[in-house]
């Protein structure tokens, strides 16, 4: 796919990897829909950075744990940008949920945001893309294959993302490809201390924390580098999965 002039929606694009994806894809000449829920100021800063370099950015707010909002987010973006060629399901929540302290609210918040949101965004996006084709990329996690006891709802939601990727790939072929990226430790949580950081590095065969560019480049490969992959998951984890 040549991204120049294409319309791309990225959920959770106000911060962290989502913000990096928005800027990198806009730099390729694409028109970018920047979705956010509560991170309005951060999303506005991303849009301004894109527009400053001559790019096109559209801001759209919504709660992707709500199916109606998912449909609206995709529809409004497609209308504003003149169609939709790419959806990147990036938005997610991530917080500790030890087994015996996890509440129903924790479960619902995590699964609804991370998995239900991706499903319903993809559902509407596929309707828009159906005629001319397109690409959907879901951001999973390496831990979907090796779930942590302190983050079970999160890991389960990301395992669901990989199943969703395979199912959508079958349902939407041949006009729409669907793939996933499974990052390892890329950006540390804000509450991560030095001891935990050292532990994460020691558990990674490449002995370092990943860079957002590692994930961004993987996404760009799926967009620009090949049109002959669907239902696949690229693991970008520094070797955590084999450690």
Would you say how long the chain is, in residues?
243
Distance (Å, whole) CA 72 – CA 180? 23
Per annotation, catalytic residue among 33, 154, 157, 235 = 154
Distance (Å, whole) CA 140 – CA 90? 8
Q: What is the DSSP letter of 229?
A: -
CB 153 within 8 A of CB 107: yes
Distance (Å, whole) CA 24 – CA 29? 9
Q: Give catalytic status of residue 154 as yes or no.
A: yes
Residue with tokens 């989502």: 18
Query: Apex CA 65: angle with CA 171 and CA 45, to 5°?
Result: 105
Q: Which of 17, 56, 61 is nearest to 36 (CA)?
A: 61
Active site residues: 154
């Amino acid at each position: 796919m040549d991204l120049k002039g294409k319309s791309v929606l990225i959920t959770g694009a106000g911060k962290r990897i989502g913000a990096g994806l928005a800027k990198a894809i806009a730099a390729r000449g694409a028109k970018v829909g920047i979705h956010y829920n509560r991170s309005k100021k951060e999303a506005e800063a991303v849009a301004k950075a894109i527009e400053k370099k001559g790019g096109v950015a559209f801001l759209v707010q919504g709660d992707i744990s709500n199916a109606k909002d998912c449909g609206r987010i995709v529809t409004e973006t497609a209308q504003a940008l003149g169609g939709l060629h790419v959806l990147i399901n990036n938005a997610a929540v991530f917080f500790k949920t030890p087994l015996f302290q996890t509440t129903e609210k924790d479960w619902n918040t995590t699964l609804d945001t991370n998995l239900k949101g991706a499903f319903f965004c993809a559902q509407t996006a596929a309707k828009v893309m159906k005629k001319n084709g397109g690409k959907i990329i879901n951001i999973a996690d390496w831990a979907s294959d090796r779930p942590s006891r302190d983050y079970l709802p999160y890991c389960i939601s990301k395992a669901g993302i990989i199943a969703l990727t395979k199912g959508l790939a079958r349902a939407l072929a041949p006009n729409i490809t669907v793939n996933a990226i499974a990052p390892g430790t890329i950006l540390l949580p804000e509450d991560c201390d030095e001891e935990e950081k050292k532990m994460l590095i020691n558990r990674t065969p490449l002995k370092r924390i990943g860079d957002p560019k590692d994930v961004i480049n993987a996404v760009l490969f799926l967009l620009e580098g090949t049109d002959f992959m669907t239902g696949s998951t690229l693991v970008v984890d520094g070797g955590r999965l084999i450690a």
